[in-house]
Amino acid sequence: MAWRLPPLNALRAFEAAGRYVSFTRAAEELHVTPGAVSRQIKLLEDFLGVELFDRTHRDLRMTDASRAYVGALTDVFERADNATKRLLNANRERSLHIQSAMTFTLRWLMPRLPLFHKMYPTRELHLTTMLAPLPTHYLVTGEVDVAIQQGCGDWEGVISHRLAGSELIPVCSPALLRADPPLREYNDLSRHTLLHSLARPDDWQDWLAAAGATDVDPARGLRFESSSLAYQAAIEGIGIAIGQMALVIEDLETGRLVPAFDFVLQNGYAYHLMYYEHAARNPRLVEFRDWILGEAARYEASHRFPGAKIGHAAPAPATSITPSAASAATSAAE
């Protein structure tokens, strides 16, 4: 459809002058001179081929037709202004909804978030956590902008970026490691309390099978709703937790936790940032994505060999071990 529209500046000048019935007040609103307003209105009259103001009187008067025209233009400008404000507010104020595995959020993401806030102090984030895997249709429909969960990175229909691996290692408090009964061989775990996360029920089974600890019942011990609770129980000396290296590395570095054994299971999984393809056009998502990938790169550079970081090396057989089928079913949980 071809629009036949007069020059916009002329319309703005006429609308303001007609609303005030004054060139001077219109000029003040538009931050120009009264002469500039007069010239714009003359341009509009030439375009339309009609006189908009009655210039036979000393004071400024409008014709009936031009008065109706002003009313229509005021309505159009108000609607355009409101639409523009709605668009700008939607872009500026809508928070980025991030859903992330709970223990990853607490132990990896949360300590780094102040850095993001420092870079983007006006950005709003809506951060929620989960224990179960997030169905990808939540990303497709836009109910969640971006998700962080564990897996192999092969989710169908979404873009994913690797953030941190999830190598498994048994951890406990330094006091428990020094106490009786001693932990000299893998099977000595049978005389200790194993700490489990209900969100990751097969981690102990996978690690024990890979380590060849045939005399340890992987099902025995205490169970907690999340890995973070199991790790805290280990810090308190209640038992031995099976830790994901990325989530216990700070505790290992500070000495709150120590490795019970030097066998690290490379289980093939990692934490990934996920979003639907069309969401990549969202500038808020792009800001967060670029920031968190930078943090992930710094983490990987500092902990390229997690075992060596704490004085232990992962045995070669660990790289060939694959998780059980049950672990794969829950691999996206925390």
Q: Which two tokens stand for residue 295?
A: 């943090």
Q: What is the mean pLDDT of residues 66-95?
A: 80
CA distances from 44 to 6, 17, 39, 66, 248 (A): 7, 12, 9, 12, 72
Gyration radius (Cα) of the chain, Å: 33
Largest distance between two CA atoms of the chain: 109
- DSSP per-residue letters across 224-291: ESSHHHHHHHHHTTS-EEEEEHHHHHHHHHHTSSEESSS--B--S-EEEEEEEGGGGG-HHHHHHHHH
Cβ–Cβ under 8 Å, residues 332 and 160: no
Three-state DSSP at 316 gives: helix
147-187 confidence digits (pLDDT tens): 998 888 888 888 899 999 888 999 999 999 999 999 999 99
pLDDT band at 90 (very low <50, low <70, confident <90, very high): low
> What single-letter amino acid sits at 186?
Y
Handedness of CA 147, 153, 158, 164 (dihedral sign): positive
pLDDT of residue 292: 95
Where do we find the tokens 């989960």? 130
Omega before 111 within 30 of 0, i.e. cis: no
Q: Averaged over 222-240, what is the pLDDT?
A: 95
Judged against a pLDDT cut of 80, whether residue 24 lies above it is answered with yes
- Give the number of C-alpha atoms closer than 13 A to the C-alpha of residue 63, restricted to the C-beta side: 12
pLDDT of residue 218: 93
pLDDT digits (tens, 9 = 90+) for 274-301: 998 888 788 889 999 999 999 999 988 8
pLDDT at position 153 is 81
pLDDT of residue 272: 94
**Rounded mean pLDDT, 112-121:** 93
Residue 38 near residue 66 (C-beta atoms within 8 A): no
Number of residues in the chain? 334
pLDDT of amino acid 324: 34
